[in-house]
Amino acid sequence: MPPAIICSVLLNTGIHLQVDSHLREVLIWRGRPSLGEPKQMKAAVFSSTHTQPQLFLHVEDVPRPRLEAGHLLLRVVACGVCRTDLHIVEGDLPPLRPRLTPGHQIVGEVIEGATLELPAGTRVGVSWMGGVDGDCPYCRRGMENLCDKPTFTGYTVDGGYAEYVLVRADFVFRLPPGLDDAHVAPLLCAGIIGFRSLRIAGVEKGERVGLFGFGSSASLAIAILQSWKCEVYVVTRGESHRKRAASLGATWVGKEDEMPPVTLDRAITFAPSGKVVVSALASLRKGGVVAINAIHLDHMPAFDYDKLLWGERQIRSVANMTRQDARDFLRIAHDLHIRPNTTIFALDDANKALLAVKEETEQGSVVIVP
């Protein structure tokens, strides 16, 4: 259960006290909202009325966000590019605001709103879940990933394709040491949600697991599967992705129209394609599970229930993540020395970064460094 803030007191000293609903924690927040004219910053902005294909974002000067109670102002040092960002700017996910700065794999340094736990200068990570209400039926059941009133970083609020970002203080994560900013950024959605997908699929040690699609998320999940002594079968469209899967030690690698040579215990699909989900289902043993690691699918084709789903096979979606998923994955990533392959783009080249994800031209993860 996340600690819902039940008391927040603003003293005229500029010190804020916050007490969580279980009285476990008192946060002292010394920030003071910025006064006067806001400073400017550079950000890549998506307009819901944009019409030019492939020029999704406009890099411009915008007001720097002002600190709010319970939040941190971060200086962004790196922000990973996720396929969900592409779904947002291509309209697969409906626009919720007329103007939006995407980006939800943010590595930043605390510059305002520092607490005793998170002093100024602390390096933290921010992911897709930017906040929850803490008291809806799902939050009460410990399923905050399904919250009825969620905040999604870079979708319902501005994200990290910018020089600064305002984030909820209780939705940041301390980052493992030993990885630089550009290499830790892709862990923050691709890594966490890939890890959650393994949990949703119910992967057990030593099983045969199929990864359908091999972008950023799958290329991080494979390290965990190997540490669990699983055999990993990869089916993916792009040649560079097949090479990457082979170089990372996949047991078998095939093209999108090929079937793994064995029946699988579990499969995770990463491509935003319903056809791929059906292929994954067709590869499963009885009782096997397909977990869909995609926020959007083109469409689900009809399939033969008797042949493909009968036998207690399951199809499950993977929706968002919990803070516990994030903490668990970041610890595992540190222990396993997971180091993503990354390609870096400048903030001015944010459109090129999105195209690289769309066209699958890079092996591994794409990161914007402002």
What dihedral angle (degrees, nearest 10) is formed by the CA atoms of 148, 201, 94, 359?
A: 150
4 forms part of the interface with Zn ion (CB under 5 A): no
Contacting Zn ion within 80-119 (CB under 5 A): 82, 84
Minimum separation from the CB atom of position 61 to Zn ion (A): 26
Nearer to Zn ion among residue 198 and residue 284 (C-beta): 198
Q: What is the DSSP-derived secondary structure letter of residue 41?
A: E
Q: What is the DSSP-derived secondary structure letter of residue 337?
A: T
Pairing of strands 208-212, 264-269: parallel
Query: Strands, E, within 194-347: which ranges?
Result: 208-212, 231-235, 252-254, 264-269, 284-292, 314-317, 342-346
Kindly indicate which of the ranges 7-15, 23-31, 128-136, 356-364 contains the residues binding Zn ion, using the contact rule CB under 5 A. 128-136
- Report the alpha-carbon distance of residue 104 to residue 87 in Å, rounded: 13
Query: Phi and psi for 359 in degrees, rounded to 5?
Result: -95, 0
> Of residues 44, 45, 86, 132, which one binds Zn ion by CB under 5 A?
132
Number of CB atoms found within 10 A of residue 165's CB: 30
Nearer to Zn ion among residue 71 and residue 83 (C-beta): 83
Nearer to Zn ion among residue 184 and residue 230 (C-beta): 184
Please, which residues bridge with residue 264 across strands?
A: 284
147 forms part of the interface with Zn ion (CB under 5 A): yes
354 forms part of the interface with Zn ion (CB under 5 A): no
> Of residues 19, 111, 136, 356, which one binds Zn ion by CB under 5 A?
136
Token reading at 255: 């093209």
CA angle 174, 135, 166 (to 5 degrees): 40
Contacts of 9 (CB under 8 A, 6+ apart): 16, 17, 18
Residue showing tokens 């031209």: 361
Minimum separation from the CB atom of position 147 to Zn ion (A): 3
Minimum separation from the CB atom of position 132 to Zn ion (A): 4
Nearer to Zn ion among residue 133 and residue 256 (C-beta): 133
Contacting Zn ion within 6-35 (CB under 5 A): none
Sketch the per residue contact string, 184 through 223, with Zn ion: x for CB under 5 A, - otherwise: -----x----------------------------------
CB-CB contact of 135 with 75 (8 Å): no
- Report the alpha-carbon distance of residue 155 to residue 294 in Å, rounded: 16
292 forms part of the interface with Zn ion (CB under 5 A): no
Nearer to Zn ion among residue 84 and residue 236 (C-beta): 84
139 forms part of the interface with Zn ion (CB under 5 A): yes
CB-CB contact of 334 with 227 (8 Å): no
Compute the radius of gyration of the chain from its Cα atoms.
21
Please, which residues bridge with residue 231 across strands?
A: 208
Minimum separation from the CB atom of position 229 to Zn ion (A): 28
367 forms part of the interface with Zn ion (CB under 5 A): no
Sketch the per residue contact string, 64 through 83, with Zn ion: x for CB under 5 A, - otherwise: ------------------x-
Nearer to Zn ion among residue 147 and residue 355 (C-beta): 147
- Report the alpha-carbon distance of residue 111 to residue 155 in Å, rounded: 23
357 forms part of the interface with Zn ion (CB under 5 A): no
Please, which residues bridge with residue 234 across strands?
A: 211, 253
Nearer to Zn ion among residue 149 and residue 255 (C-beta): 149
293 forms part of the interface with Zn ion (CB under 5 A): no
Nearer to Zn ion among residue 124 and residue 139 (C-beta): 139
256 forms part of the interface with Zn ion (CB under 5 A): no
Minimum separation from the CB atom of position 217 to Zn ion (A): 8
Catalog residues that contact Zn ion under the rule CB under 5 A. Answer: 82, 84, 132-133, 136, 139, 147, 189
